[in-house]
Amino acid sequence: MQESKVITLLRHVVLLVFVAIAVYPALNVFSISLRPDNRLRSTDLAIIPENWSFKSYEQLFTEQPFLKWLANSLIVSTGVTVTGVALAAIGGYAFSRFRFVGRNATMLAILTTQMFPATMLLLPLYIVIAKLQLINTYLGLMVFYTSTALPFCVWQMKGFYDTIPASLEEAARIDGCSRGAAFWRVILPLAVPGLVITALFSFMAAWSEYIMAAQVMQDEEMFTLPLGLKSFQATLSTQWGLYAAASILVSLPVVVVFLLLSKYLVSGLTLGSVKE
Amino acid sequence: MTLKSAMLRRWAIRRVGAAHQYNACSWWAVPTLLVFAVVSGCSRHDSRTVITIWHQSRPTEKEFLQREIVEFEKTHPQVHVRALYKETEELRAGFQAAALAGGGPELIYGPSDVLGAFQTMGVVQDMTPWLPVESRDDFVPGALTYLPIRDDLAKKSLVQIGDRFGNHLALVYNRKFVPVPPKTTDELVALAVKNTLDEDGDGRKDRYGLVWNFTEPFFGIPFLTGFGGWVFAEPSSNARNAETATTAGGKIVPALDTPQAVAAWQFMQSLQEQGVAPRNCDYEAADSLFKSGKAAMIINGDWSWADYLKESSIDAAVAVLPTVNATGQPMRTMFAPKGYSLNVNTKQPVADLAMAFVQHMTSDVVQRRLVHELRMLPVRKIIQKDPLFETDSTLQASLAQLKNGRLMPTETELRAVWDAMRPPYQAVLGGGMTPAEAAKTMQREAISKIEQIHADAVPDNSVVALNIAGLVVVGALVVWQRHSFARFVSDWRRNRLAYLFVMPSVVCIFAVIVFPFFYNIVLSLSNMSLANFRDWRVVGLQNYIEVFGDAKIWAVFLKTIVWTAVNVAFHVGLGVLLAVALHGPVRGKSLYRILLIIPWAVPAYITALSWRGMFDYEYGAVNLILTQMAQFAPLRWLLSLANLSPPVNWLGDVGHAFQACIVANVWLGFPFMMVIALGGMQGIPHELYEAARIDRASRWQQFWHITLPLLKPVLLPAVTLGTIWTFNNLNVIWLVSNGGEPQDATHILVSYVYKAVFNLYRYGYGAALSMLIFFVLLAFSLVFLRRTRATESVYG
């Protein structure tokens, strides 16, 4: 495909401007993590501060159970991502293709669970989790995160399936596929971009949450990363260096996950490649 | 379209053939491993009795605590002490919830100011049985906190045993600029004026004389006391260090509108008017100015001193705050004992073991180590006479400041007073209020907030009406939906696959939310508050009447709508723009993509704070960029048109603070929409564009007639939920505006709820307000989904 030079230039200008905007505040965080003197603010704009050092990073790995927290977070987030994607993949399909009784009502009901201010739900949720003896378990967190991520995931998958023409399944059915097989073999592979977004979203929902995690995880051994991170924070005496360094490290896995997943963000319904 | 469907068919056949390669096994390996991990994570065995302590100790104190736990476990091998750090508010809210659910840690450790609330709620127990009468005299007055028992006000219970004193403010000065600390406020002002410099004459100060936190009224207390004022009215002037501040009848009355208070705020404002203090200065800004040698003196608390003394580029020392010339009185600080309280749910024999640990921490040996290792102020009388107090100048100043300080009241009313003082305190220093107005507003607000804390609703007639209404609603539902079940049964056979597919999601979502949802509905009709925390009951519609009768809420509501609309518009607009820019032949596409999702990847709770730094009045990047832009006349004109002539007081000015929150939130949210739009674009067949090109459709026409309509099904859920999330986005507002600053003017509904619930313990009221939010969002979704036909499919 050929594009005029002007358009290409325009693309790059837009992208470069927004890359600068996207990156600068994050660079600021990086700068805090390099500061030797535990300061959030600075009176100059230099990204690499005077007397910079990687001491905060070193401390994270040597003096803090950072790796343990990382492992906990990975377990929880992976669990949530796998269940979230699996449930949303089938749930969204049903909402997209079937006109069953209570379909619209259920879709709306799913949405309503997101409408309540989360802070008001903490107290009753804590009571539930305590009564079910899920305090200090991965399962407690996973169930909660999955249920908060699912409404979006289901709706999103439904939206993706909607963009896939129903004629595809009909074609497969004519060739002797069952309804389930048509879904599994024809539709699901086409919905990969949707699955990727769903996966990324569920992962993020579990990866960065800390308010609920603080209720469930009562033992430093069981802390997820955001909780560990928050433990560097104290009213008026936060360890900014560690806090910023840990934040930077926390975001790296997200970037990695995105890198891995974005490979699948490009395929989808590429009919051009089917021509023989 | 016949050609196309034939192609689709062929393609589908190929997929069916290829599908045999799928291997289901690898899919199940991950969950199996996870289940294993979950199970093994739970099965750790330890025969020792576990005592959990929730504490809010700072890092060096935390290490000290850990060392002492090891010491204690040596003598008590049957006990395992588990210390868990919790941030102040987290500890308070978490402990309340845990205690209400019948659990929680055995001990909590922290400053005494929350004890009044804990005692009123009945979540801590009396520790008198563990403290022999004769050993009470070993403690300095104020170290042991006794509070009246709720049901029998004549009796008092021991609710906290302190192990150290702290949280007091003092003057820290940089000896490079201030060789001898000021003894009086006149000297302070003279020194401050001398040290306020603009060396390079660029209009920006290179050094300030004195800085302190302009946002927390706690830092204004030394000014107030120095001019002879105090937060509560006092029975008589000689009861200075008395434990109670009650006046006649046991009622606590704030004393914020007094000539003394006005004089204090006047003095504070004059410092700023003389230019010795910055125009805008929160805690982090003050800290950073002093650390970088750009402030000669700072008023800050004992927690910060070690950092300053350690800093090599400045030569810091701690001194007692000066005496006010006008009154001859010293500037007194508030201080608090920090110590242990026993959870009401801690039963014997665990309680004995827990108290043994408390005894250990208050023993002479540990108290001495506390002084020598942490340089903190002990609670034992003998240890306060330790020789180290003679030689260490910081300890000396610290003890002197403590001796003339005032004990922080434990009454719950103090929380109302802080809430009432905060906005006017900020306004006085932001130039929005005169000292007299500020004093008047503080007093008025404090009285009304104290009333709100104590509001104790009783059931009224509406309870009966509610019961009847509930029955009617249930009955109507049954009648209305009576055919549904039959239809469901007949539909089950036809659409069995659909039901099976939907079931897991529905079960998972609703299993978690059902109980909290109904709990909240009941709570919104109840009188759950500080006074009725454990024994609340349904009282009727009073909370709703209050919510709908409050004119202030509607202003906040309007602001929430603006907030939501602007944010979502920018999120979607920028997201789609960037996705379009990325969707096509672009070199370095994957690098762009990674860099553009960074705002989503880096945790918001730190980037929001970094935005706060960028909005700093003097040193923030935003103002520096605007200043550069204003060098060009057309841009300057545009900026002034938008009321953004630099420098803009982003965080101190009411309107701009809200804009700052929006900017930060737009930044946080656009990558998400971009990713969604990118994913959606992959699903649009290239053939459509090729066909359009053959028809000579312009790019804009292609975007408008192909891209957008086909993006719609993918974007709609994101927009709908994005709106809901933005409407309820507490975090950004809270972090960027530091809890609604300035002057509580940046609140959206959800932060308003949060403040009511967590600062003033108004659970019932908060639940009613949440129901309002819920119904607003429900109405929005119904209308929006209907108009956009979101539940229908695009090709259908």
User: What is the predicted pLDDT for the residue at B18?
Assistant: 43
The answer, yes or no, to whether residue B337 has pLDDT greater than 90, is yes
Is domain B544-615+650-788 in CATH 1.10.3720.10, yes or no?
A: yes
Same fold, B169-235+254-332+412-454 and B544-615+650-788: no
- pLDDT class for B479, splitting at 50, 70, 90? confident
By the 8 A CB rule, do A167 and B4 touch? no
Residues of A in contact with B621 (CB under 8 A): 24, 28, 45
A130 touches B: beta carbon within 8 Å: yes
By the 8 A CB rule, do B636 and B630 touch? yes
User: What is the predicted pLDDT for the residue at B3?
Assistant: 44
Give me the long-range contacts of B447-451 (CB less than 8 A, separation at least 24).
Answer: B447/B253, B447/B254, B448/B420, B449/B416, B449/B417, B449/B419, B449/B420, B449/B760, B450/B252, B450/B254, B450/B413, B450/B416, B450/B417
CA B52, distance to chain mean position in Å, is: 25
Q: How far is B235 from chain A (nearest CA, A)?
A: 33
Q: What is the mean pLDDT of residues B445-449?
A: 91
In a domain, A242, yes or no: yes
Supply the Cα-derived Rg of chain B in whole angstroms. Answer: 31
User: What is the predicted pLDDT for the residue at B540?
Assistant: 83
User: What is the predicted pLDDT for the residue at B29?
Assistant: 52
Q: Between chains, do A166 and B796 touch, taking CB under 8 Å as contact?
A: yes
Q: Between chains, do B603 and A184 touch, taking CB under 8 Å as contact?
A: no
Q: Do A112 and A38 share a domain, yes or no?
A: no
The answer, yes or no, to whether residue B341 has pLDDT greater than 90, is yes
Q: What is the mean pLDDT of residues A241-269?
A: 82
By the 8 A CB rule, do A128 and B518 touch? no
CA B184, distance to chain mean position in Å, is: 37
Q: How far is A94 from chain B (nearest CA, A)?
A: 5
Residues of B in contact with A140 (CB under 8 A): none
The answer, yes or no, to whether residue B20 has pLDDT greater than 50, is no
Q: Between chains, do B16 and A208 touch, taking CB under 8 Å as contact?
A: no
**Burial environment of residue B308 by CB neighbours within 10 A (0 to 12, 13 to 18, 19 or more):** buried
pLDDT tens string B241-286: 444 444 444 678 899 999 999 999 999 999 988 888 888 888 988 9
Query: Closest by alpha carbon to A33, among A234, A238, A211, A223?
Result: A238
Q: How far is A213 from chain B (nearest CA, A)?
A: 11
User: What is the predicted pLDDT for the residue at A267?
Assistant: 52
User: What is the predicted pLDDT for the residue at B369?
Assistant: 92
Q: Where are the domains of chain B?
A: 49-165+338-395, 169-235+254-332+412-454, 461-515, 544-615+650-788
In a domain, A273, yes or no: no
Report the residue count for chain B.
Answer: 796
User: What is the predicted pLDDT for the residue at B24?
Assistant: 40
CA B141, distance to chain mean position in Å, is: 33
- Which pTM was predicted? 0.85
By the 8 A CB rule, do A246 and A227 touch? no
User: What is the predicted pLDDT for the residue at B226?
Assistant: 94
The answer, yes or no, to whether residue A275 has pLDDT greater than 50, is no
Q: Between chains, do B596 and A15 touch, taking CB under 8 Å as contact?
A: yes
In a domain, A275, yes or no: no
In the beta sheet, which residues pair with residue B211? B298
Q: Do A91 and A38 share a domain, yes or no?
A: no
Q: Do A28 and A119 share a domain, yes or no?
A: no
How many structural domains does chain A have?
2
Highest mean pLDDT among A77-81, A124-128, B346-350: A77-81
The answer, yes or no, to whether residue B668 has pLDDT greater than 60, is yes
Give the position of tokens 């979203």: A201
Q: Between chains, do A78 and B34 touch, taking CB under 8 Å as contact?
A: yes
| Beta carbon pairs, A and B, within 8 Å | 461
Query: Closest by alpha carbon to A95, among B492, B495, B514?
Result: B495
The answer, yes or no, to whether residue B27 has pLDDT greater than 70, is no
Rounded Cα gap, residues B769 and B766, in angstroms: 5
Looking up residue A88, the CATH number of its domain turns out to be 1.10.3720.10
Rounded Cα gap, residues B264 and B315, in angstroms: 30
Q: How far is A118 from chain B (nearest CA, A)?
A: 8
Q: What percent of chain B has pLDDT over 90?
A: 42
Q: What is the mean pLDDT of residues B467-495?
A: 86
Q: Report the DSSP pairing between strands B169-174 and B316-319.
A: antiparallel
Q: What is the mean pLDDT of residues A200-222?
A: 88
Q: Do A254 and A146 share a domain, yes or no?
A: yes
In a domain, A179, yes or no: yes
pLDDT tens string B392-409: 989 999 999 998 999 999
Q: Between chains, do B509 and A110 touch, taking CB under 8 Å as contact?
A: yes
The answer, yes or no, to whether residue B26 has pLDDT greater than 60, is no
The answer, yes or no, to whether residue B22 has pLDDT greater than 60, is no
The answer, yes or no, to whether residue B616 has pLDDT greater than 90, is no
Q: Report the DSSP pairing between strands B295-301 and B208-211.
A: parallel
Q: Between chains, do B590 and A262 touch, taking CB under 8 Å as contact?
A: yes
Rounded Cα gap, residues B796 and A16, in angstroms: 39
What average pLDDT does the structure give for chain A? 86
Q: Do A46 and A68 share a domain, yes or no?
A: no
Residues of B in contact with A179 (CB under 8 A): 497
Rounded Cα gap, residues B489 and B499, in angstroms: 11
Q: Between chains, do A128 and B56 touch, taking CB under 8 Å as contact?
A: no
By the 8 A CB rule, do B365 and B138 touch? no
Q: What is the mean pLDDT of residues B552-570?
A: 93
Instruction: Return the CATH number of B169-235+254-332+412-454, one of 3.20.20.140, 3.40.50.150, 3.40.190.10, 3.20.20.70.
Output: 3.40.190.10
- pLDDT class for A50, splitting at 50, 70, 90? confident
Q: What is the mean pLDDT of residues A12-30?
A: 92
**Which amino acid does the sequence have at B155?**
K
Rounded Cα gap, residues B656 and B652, in angstroms: 8
- pLDDT class for B331, splitting at 50, 70, 90? very high
- pLDDT class for B19, splitting at 50, 70, 90? very low
What average pLDDT does the structure give for chain B? 86
Highest mean pLDDT among B31-40, B146-155, B784-793: B146-155
pLDDT tens string B524-556: 998 888 888 888 888 888 889 888 888 888 889
Query: Closest by alpha carbon to A90, among A200, A198, A167?
Result: A198
The answer, yes or no, to whether residue B388 has pLDDT greater than 70, is yes
Minimum mean pLDDT among B70-74, B433-437, B688-692: which range?
A: B688-692
Minimum mean pLDDT among A178-182, B239-243, B782-786: which range?
A: B239-243
Q: Between chains, do A236 and B710 touch, taking CB under 8 Å as contact?
A: no
Q: What is the mean pLDDT of residues B497-509?
A: 91
- pLDDT class for B23, splitting at 50, 70, 90? very low
A51 touches B: beta carbon within 8 Å: no
Full strand arrangement of the beta sheet holding B295-301:
B208-211, B295-301, B169-174, B316-319
Last residue of a domain, one of A53, A73, A90: A53
Cis bond before residue B105 (omega within 30° of 0) = no
Q: Do A45 and A91 share a domain, yes or no?
A: no
Write the CA distances from B211 to B268, B274, B282, B788, integer angstroms: 11, 13, 9, 55
Give the position of tokens 């291997």: B23
Q: How far is B512 from chain A (nearest CA, A)?
A: 7
In a domain, A276, yes or no: no
Nearest residue in B to A245, CA atom: B606
Nearest residue in A to B511, CA atom: A147
Q: Range of A172's domain?
A: 63-267
User: What is the predicted pLDDT for the residue at B35?
Assistant: 54
Q: Could you report the predicted ipTM of this complex, rounded to two decimals?
A: 0.90
Q: Which residues 6+ apart lie within 8 Å of B640 measured at CB?
A: none
Q: What is the mean pLDDT of residues A150-168?
A: 90
The answer, yes or no, to whether residue A272 has pLDDT greater than 60, is no
Q: Under CATH, what is the fold of the domain B49-165+338-395?
A: D-Maltodextrin-Binding Protein; domain 2 (3.40.190)
User: What is the predicted pLDDT for the residue at B186?
Assistant: 94
Q: Between chains, do B778 and A15 touch, taking CB under 8 Å as contact?
A: no
Give the position of tokens 């996207």: A22
CA angle at residue A125 from A120 to A127, to 5 degrees?
A: 120
Q: What percent of chain B has pLDDT over 70?
A: 91
Residues of B in contact with A123 (CB under 8 A): 97, 100, 519, 763
In a domain, A247, yes or no: yes
Q: What is the mean pLDDT of residues A176-192?
A: 87
In a domain, A190, yes or no: yes
Q: Do A164 and A197 share a domain, yes or no?
A: yes
Interface of A with B in 247-266 (CB under 8 A): 247-248, 250-251, 254-255, 258-259, 262, 265-266
- pLDDT class for B128, splitting at 50, 70, 90? very high
Residues of A in contact with B511 (CB under 8 A): 143, 147
In a domain, A31, yes or no: yes
pLDDT tens string B68-78: 999 999 999 99
Q: Do A33 and A82 share a domain, yes or no?
A: no
User: What is the predicted pLDDT for the residue at B606?
Assistant: 85
Q: Do A165 and A89 share a domain, yes or no?
A: yes
Q: Do A142 and A169 share a domain, yes or no?
A: yes
